[in-house]
Structures are given as structure tokens and as C-alpha cells.
């Protein structure tokens, strides 16, 4: 679902004050989302953002056995490129190695093997990786790995494992996660000098009748240059600290909806663990 959609309000969690956080979906597709979180605070939204970056497990290539490499790149460079290819992740079927019953020996529950066998001339793409698990595949089949010239060969096995973004960026599910408070722009007593319109880099102010209107408050960067430009103090820009515009993208290991659900579940688990610990202290 793309475009601006303002009818999908949902209520999904209680905050500490006992009020419900309301979620309005402005944009949601497989790769990214824009949400408006109401009746919340910056601490909650920032926790969600940080969990998306560092605590949602993904599967990424963690070890590479190279059997033949006559390409122009060193083995280490190829391993680095492979590690940064996002893989579609299914954590229902896999354990983090530290939590697996094999005690980090490596088993079918904590690792998956992908093989690559290619000979030039050709460009080797992520789709050339053959996985033993059809659910664990490169999120984008057309990520170039290397160009092999005539007669050059690359033959390897890559071992992918679940991990967390806080340990290495290759396991970072959320990218470009950020938020800002909802801008609130009030205009009273405007004398239509248009100075604020010229000053606004986002071009969201426009004349209408005998005043100025805001055509897209989401785009406001809260820079307040319009206030500075106004000699009669007719425009006032404030932030609604209980409402956040929250944007995030995924690296492809999850859809945006899956990533959000994973992050909220992890945040809820952490909050419950903290609550349990505090109750033992009473
Ligand atoms: S605060 Fe900045 S971005 Fe927002 S309306 Fe004023 S000039 Fe434009
Ligand atoms: S700068 Fe002030 S007076 Fe001039 S158009 Fe903007 S709000 Fe109106
Ligand atoms: Zn295992």
C-alpha cells in the first residue's frame, strides 16, 4: 500500500500512563513505512527505532569457504561483499547461535548453507547463490558480486547465521529509521508579505485569500526560518511532543510490517522482563 492513507488507524499498545498509542499509517509497502504515532513520547519512539536497528535478528552470511577464486578480488573482499547481501529471514525456523541447543557447533536450526559456482565471462549476481533453504534467499536477486572475465572462476560455500545489528551491520534489519515530532504551524495576523514563503526550503507555505496556508505539514523540518522572516510574528511553529512522524525502511530481510511487529514484540518482551525484575525487588 503506497501513497498517503489516513484511514488505517490502529491501537496497539498501552503506554506507561495507561493511555493507548494510536497508529496512523501514512505509507506502508514491503520496503518502507511512514507512521504517525499519537499519544506517545519520544522515549518510546526512540526505543522502537533503536530496536529496529540493533535488536531484530536477521540472517546474514557469516563464514565463507572459498574453494577456487581466480577473480581479480581477494577472498576477503568477496566474503565482505557476500556478508552485506540482505537475505530474506525466517526466524520462526532458526535460532540465534548463542541460544541454539547445539552450543554453537552449527546445525540446521542455526545456520544455512549457500553455494556459488560461476565461471566467466559473466557478472555474478546474488541470485547465483544457491541456498539449501528456499526461504533463505537474497532479498534482491540482482545485487552484483563480481564480474568474472573469460576463464576466471569462483567456487565457494557461504554459511549464513542469525545475528543482531548491535553486533555487526550485516545483521541490521532497519535502515533509515528516524522520527520527528509532528509540526504544528499556526498563522494569525498575516499581512501577506510572503517573506516566509520565500524562506521555506520545503515550499509548503502558500498564499490563500488574505492569509498563508500550510500545504504539507509532514514536510516541515521545524527549522523555524519562517518565524525569523516574519516581522509581525504572525507565524508560529511548534512541535507536538506527544505525536511522532516515524519513518523506516528495511534492508529486505523482512517486509516493513514484519519488521515493525518484530520490533514491538521485542520491546514488549524487554518491558515485561524489566517489570518482572522490579517486582522481585518489592
Ligand atoms: S519551520 Fe522551516 S520547513 Fe517548516 S514551514 Fe517554517 S520554514 Fe518551512
Ligand atoms: S512572513 Fe508573516 S506576515 Fe509575511 S506572509 Fe508570512 S506569516 Fe504572513
Ligand atoms: Zn544450532
Rounded to a whole number, what is the distance in angstroms from the first to the last CA of the chain?
47
User: Can you read off the three cell numbers belonging to residue 239?
Assistant: 512541535
Cα 246 from Cα 248, distance rounded (Å): 7
For residue 44, the 8-state DSSP code is H
pLDDT of residue 18: 56
Residue 68 sits in the same domain as residue 167? yes
User: Can you read off the three cell numbers belonging to residue 86?
Assistant: 540482505
Q: Is the pLDDT of residue 257 over 50?
A: yes
Residue 179 lies in a domain: yes
Question: What is the whole-number distance in angstroms between the Cα of residue 166 and the centre of ligand 1?
Answer: 35
The ligand whose atoms approach the alpha carbon of 93 most closely is 3
pLDDT of residue 29: 96
Under the banding of pLDDT at 50, 70 and 90, the label for residue 2 is: very low
Cα 142 from Cα 128, distance rounded (Å): 9
CA distances from 70 to 61, 121, 124, 168, 277 (A): 21, 12, 13, 29, 56
Looking at 171, 187, 213, which one is the last position of a domain?
A: 171
Residue 141 sits in the same domain as residue 186? no
How much of the chain is helix, strand and coil, in % rounded to 5? 25, 35, 40
Looking at 111, 146, 171, which one is the last position of a domain?
A: 171
Q: Is the pLDDT of residue 9 over 50?
A: no
Question: What is the whole-number distance in angstroms between the Cα of residue 246 and the centre of ligand 2?
Answer: 29
Cα 115 from Cα 224, distance rounded (Å): 55
Residue 4 lies in a domain: no
Residue 117 sits in the same domain as residue 147? yes
Atom 4 in ligand 2: which residue has the minimum CA distance? 193
Residue 49 sits in the same domain as residue 80? no
Residue 1 lies in a domain: no
pLDDT of residue 20: 85
For residue 149, the 8-state DSSP code is P
Cis, bond preceding 121 (omega within 30 deg of 0): yes
Q: Which atom of ligand 2 is nearest to the CA of 195?
A: 1
Residue 160 sits in the same domain as residue 105? yes
CATH no. for residue 183? 3.30.1360.10
| Orientation of helix 256-280 relative to helix 42-54, angle to 10° | 110
Pocket of ligand 2 (CB under 6 A): 187, 190-196, 212, 229-230, 232, 234-235
Residue 151 sits in the same domain as residue 102? yes
Average pLDDT on 184-199 reads 95
Q: Is the pLDDT of residue 1 over 80?
A: no
Residue 166 sits in the same domain as residue 75? yes
- Please give the sequence-ordered ranges of beta strands (E in DSSP) within 120-195, or none if there are none: 122-125, 130-131, 144-148, 153-163, 174-187
Do the beta carbons of residue 112 and residue 133 sit within 8 Å? yes
Residue 27, SS3 per DSSP? strand
Residue 274 lies in a domain: no
pLDDT of residue 12: 44
Number of domains in the chain: 2
Residue 163 sits in the same domain as residue 83? yes
Of 192, 103, 120, nearest in space to 155 by CA: 120
pLDDT in tens, 116-169: 999 999 999 999 999 999 999 999 999 999 999 999 999 999 999 999 999 999
Residue 2 lies in a domain: no
Question: What is the whole-number distance in angstroms between the Cα of residue 244 and the centre of ligand 2?
Answer: 27
CATH no. for residue 115? 2.170.120.12
pLDDT of residue 282: 73
Q: In which domain, by residue range, is 193 found? A: 10-55+174-250
Residue 258 lies in a domain: no
Atom 8 in ligand 2: which residue has the minimum CA distance? 190
Looking at 144, 171, 198, which one is the last position of a domain?
A: 171
CB atoms within 10 A of CB 214: 22
Q: How many CA atoms lie within 13 A of 35 on its CB side?
A: 26
Residue 178 sits in the same domain as residue 51? yes
Q: Which atom of ligand 2 is nearest to the CA of 207?
A: 5
Pocket of ligand 1 (CB under 6 A): 185, 199-200, 202, 204-205, 220-226, 237
Question: What is the whole-number distance in angstroms between the Cα of residue 179 and the centre of ligand 2?
Answer: 28
Do the beta carbons of residue 112 and residue 100 sit within 8 Å? no
pLDDT of residue 19: 67
Question: What is the whole-number distance in angstroms between the Cα of residue 203 and the centre of ligand 1?
Answer: 8
Residue 43 sits in the same domain as residue 64? no
Residue 267 lies in a domain: no
pLDDT in tens, 42-92: 999 999 999 999 999 999 999 999 999 999 999 999 999 999 999 999 899
Average pLDDT on 206-220 reads 92
pLDDT in tens, 11-40: 344 444 456 889 999 999 999 999 999 999
Residue 160 sits in the same domain as residue 210? no
Q: Percentage of the chain surpassing pLDDT 70?
A: 93
Residue 151 sits in the same domain as residue 22? no
Residue 98 lies in a domain: yes
Cα 163 from Cα 153, distance rounded (Å): 30
Amino acid at each position: 500500500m503506497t501513497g498517503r492513507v489516513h484511514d488505517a488507524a490502529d491501537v496497539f499498545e498501552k503506554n506507561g500512563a495507561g493511555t493507548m498509542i494510536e497508529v496512523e499509517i501514512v505509507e506502508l509497502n514491503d520496503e518502507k513505512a511512514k507512521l504517525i504515532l499519537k499519544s506517545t513520547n519520544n522515549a518510546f519512539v526512540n526505543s522502537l527505532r533503536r530496536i529496529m536497528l540493533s535488536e531484530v535478528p536477521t540472517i546474514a552470511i557469516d563464514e565463507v569457504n572459498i574453494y577456487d577464486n581466480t577473480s581479480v578480488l581477494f577472498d576477503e573482499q568477496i566474503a565482505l561483499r557476500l556478508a552485506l547481501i540482505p537475505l530474506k529471514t525466517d526466524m520462526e525456523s532458526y535460532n540465534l547461535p548463542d541460544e541454539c541447543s547445539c552450543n554453537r557447533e552449527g546445525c540446521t536450526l542455526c545456520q544455512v548453507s549457500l553455494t556459488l559456482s560461476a565461471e566467466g565471462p559473466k557478472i555474478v549476481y546474488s541470485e547465483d547463490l544457491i541456498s539449501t533453504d528456499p526461504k533463505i534467499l537474497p532479498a534482491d536477486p540482482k545485487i552484483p558480486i563480481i564480474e568474472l572475465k573469460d576463464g576466471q572462476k569462483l567456487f565457494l560455500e557461504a554459511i549464513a547465521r542469525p545475528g543482531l545489528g548491535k553486533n555487526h551491520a550485516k545483521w541490521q534489519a532497519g535502515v533509515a529509521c528516524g522520527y520527528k515530532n509532528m509540526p504544528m504551524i499556526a498563522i494569525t495576523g498575516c499581512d501577506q508579505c510572503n517573506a516566509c514563503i520565500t524562506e521555506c526550503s520545503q515550499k509548503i507555505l502558500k498564499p490563500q485569500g488574505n492569509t498563508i496556508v500550510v500545504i504539507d505539514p509532514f514536510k516541515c523540518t521545524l527549522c523555524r526560518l519562517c518565524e525569523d522572516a516574519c516581522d509581525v510574528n504572525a507565524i508560529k511553529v511548534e512541535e507536538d511532543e506527544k505525536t511522532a512522524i516515524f519513518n523506516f525502511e528495511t534492508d529486505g530481510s523482512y517486509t516493513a510490517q514484519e519488521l515493525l511487529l518484530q520490533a514491538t514484540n521485542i520491546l514488549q518482551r524487554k518491558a515485561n522482563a524489566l517489570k518482572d525484575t522490579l517486582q522481585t525487588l518489592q
